[in-house]
Amino acid sequence: MADRDTESGHGHGHGHAHHGWLARARHALSPHSHDSADRFDTALESSALGVRTLVWSFAALFTTAVAQLAVVLVTGSVALLGDTIHNFADALTALPVGIALVLGRRAATRRFTYGLGRAEDLAGVVVVLVIAASAVIAGYEAVDRLVHPRPVTGLWAVAIAGVLGFAGNEIVARWRITVGRRIGSAALVADGLHARVDGFTSLAVVLGAAGGALGWPLADPIIGLLITVAIVFVVRDAAKQVFARLMDAVDPALVDTAERAAAAVTGVRDVDRVRMRWIGHRLHADLAVAVDDTLTIDAAHRLAHEVERHLAAAVPHLAAAVVHAEPATGAHEAHH
């Protein structure tokens, strides 16, 4: 019976989470379907939601950065300049992520058989490089101001601009993180966490202004250097996350969930060789299940489909699952 393996490669998308304000937004602004055969439409919906999030967050951050730049030109604050540069960079990171989400919406072809979801991983690399470049620029300006001190004027305006930067970044962070987790986009979540750190660096600008008001002019460039250090830590964390995704890393808890879901199906004797990977913001799974060796090919195929349904219900963001049904004796035992 070792040659009686059947495979089922029909993934089931997730159109179940139709609740909450984000779901209502998806219903109002995107085409949707409850039919599992239309799982690709669900992926299109999530990508469209991600793109809209990026567009609005780009507008919010760009507006914040322009307002801060106007204050920089008047006051000459290098701490605020560093924060402004980083906010511009953060706004610009929306561009590669947005392009990647749009590319990921394209259907698979005979050349790109898994579609173009991997563009999100490449966008993550671009995001890391942009953040790193902003750290270099902000650090250079801070060091230059330490070597060539210049007075900072309009300290109240600097402080207000710092608070504005915090508010803008925190709003964008909450938006990106919420939507990124909802659709399973690591790039969008990373962008949101990045914006949150930027918000706290904006508050550091307020400290620099307070130091200047207390008669300590070096507070401004020193805060600028601290902001640079904070950006470096953001680069490190973002790079680790992007590298893990490029190497097909997944949360081990997702693998455990998939194993339990498959093992819970009546007729499954054992679960083996569970492999999962992210392609863009959608998960793909491949696993083998041991079944009774007296089952007909048709019965084993139906059982494989039942395993898929359980996986689709249990594993968030699962786009497709390939289930190999193998006899419980013979071929399956050879794997142990």
Burial class (CB in 10 A: 0-12, 13-18, 19+), 245: buried
Sign of CA dihedral 249, 251, 252, 257: negative
pLDDT of residue 289: 96
Please, what are the averages of pLDDT over each run of 10 residues along the chain (336 residues)? 44 41 36 32 64 86 89 85 82 83 86 90 85 81 79 81 88 87 77 77 80 80 82 84 89 95 95 92 92 92 95 91 86 47
The residue ranges of every structural domain in the chain are: 6-12+251-335, 31-246
pLDDT of residue 110: 94
0.75 exceeded by the pTM? no
Which element (helix H / strand E) includes 276? Answer: strand 268-279
pLDDT of residue 44: 54
What Cα–Cα distance (Å) separates residue 101 from each residue in 35, 41, 55, 139, 262?
23, 14, 12, 32, 30
Alpha carbon distance 69, 137 (integer Å): 15
Q: Please give the CATH number for the structural domain made up of 31-246.
A: 1.20.1510.10
CATH fold of 6-12+251-335 reads Alpha-Beta Plaits (3.30.70)
Measured from the Cβ of residue 11, the count of other Cβ atoms closer than 10 Å reads: 21
Contact yes or no for 63/168 (Cβ under 8 A)? yes
Furthest-apart CA atoms within the chain: distance in Å: 86
